[in-house]
Amino acid sequence: MTVVSKSPQIKICDSSDAAASAVASIFAAAIGQQSQSTDRDLVLGLATGGTPIRVYRKLVEMHDNDRLDFSAVTTFNLDEYVGLPGDHPQSYRYFMQQQLFDHINVDLHRTHVPDGTAADLATAACDYEGRIRQAGGIDLQLLGIGSNGHIAFNEPGSAADSRTRVVDLTSETIEANARFFDSPDQVPRKAITMGIGTILEARQIVLMATGSKKADAVYRALHGPVTTENPASLLRQHSQVVFVLDREAAARLPS
């Protein structure tokens, strides 16, 4: 692994598997450190999608083989589709249960995913913000990056101080997520997402990107203008951000 920058810190790994190991190690270190403290739970912000699956598998392996203890961990997921119940195979609650929660000793009452089926979605979004504050804020936030620079479901043009809210998904994002559904028509058109302002309040942020399809987005996030038209670029305003990349995702970065 090569470290090529300090602010944001950039870690370039030889493969996507090595990148997942690096991210899992960051989370495991935070969990291990917090287990020595009785002050409060460690609060993790978690992501869904293809990128973090290997991270979650490695955390499960650490739990099984190294007794990584999640009993004092609280989690908040970035987003959820509007209209999908938690037992729907494409809901993000279902994803988290399958990929992580069902395989570790986390208290499920302390795992939070936005409620995409709430009768009053605006109130549910505000309540989600309140639960994050009540937990003491997010200590360590995991992010992916969309090809258009979105983080969570904060599409280009999202306000830098935005909070958890209902958003319309762009046609580009709908197309990208259609691979998880039987047809593009089945992809929800709205989601509840943490806002950029919420994300930037996390004490530490880890963005993971792998594969050549993310190379342009990574380059623009790190070297393009800092603008709401490229939400990931706003991460450069945070003092504790780590980009963990494989060599394909880092291909456009200056050597």
Catalytic pick from 41, 155, 201, 246? 155
CA distance 167 to 90: 18
> In the annotation, is 66 catalytic?
no
Peptide bond into 8 cis (omega under 30): yes
Q: Choose, from 77, 148, 154, 177, the residue flagged as catalytic.
A: 148
* 252: in domain: no
Do the domain assignments include residue 214?
yes
Q: Does 254 fall in a domain? A: no
- The CB density around residue 126, as the number of other CB atoms within 10 Å, is 13
Distance of alpha carbon 139 from alpha carbon 154, whole angstroms: 20
Residue 106 in any domain: the answer is: yes
- Token representation of residue 34: 């917090």
Active site annotation includes 150: yes
Q: Considering the entire predicted model, what is its pTM? A: 0.94
Per-residue pLDDT of the chain in tens (255 residues, 90 and over written 9): 555 555 699 999 999 999 999 999 999 999 998 766 667 889 999 999 899 999 999 999 999 999 999 999 999 999 999 999 999 999 999 999 999 999 999 999 999 999 999 999 999 999 999 999 999 999 999 999 999 999 999 999 999 999 999 999 888 888 888 888 888 888 899 999 999 999 999 999 999 999 999 999 999 999 999 999 999 999 999 999 999 999 999 999 998
Q: Catalytic pick from 41, 63, 79, 246?
A: 79
The dihedral formed by the CA atoms of 204, 208, 214 and 219, expressed in degrees to the nearest 10 = 40
Q: Print the domain residue range for 82.
A: 2-246
Residue 23 CA to residue 179 CA, distance in Å, equals 25
Respond yes or no: is residue 177 known to be catalytic.
no
- 231-253 burial, b at 16+ Cβ within 10 Å, e below that, comes to bbbbbeebeebbbbbbbbbbbeb
The answer as to whether 9 is a domain residue is: yes
Tokens of 70: 């999640």
Q: Which of 63, 150, 154, 246 is catalytic?
A: 150
Q: How many distinct structural domains can be found in the chain?
A: 1
The maximal CA–CA distance of the chain, rounded, in angstroms, is 51
CA angle 142, 218, 169 (to 5 degrees): 70
Question: Domain containing 206 — which CATH number?
Answer: 3.40.50.1360
Q: How far apart are CA 20 and CA 22, in angstroms?
A: 5
Is 21 a member of any domain?
yes
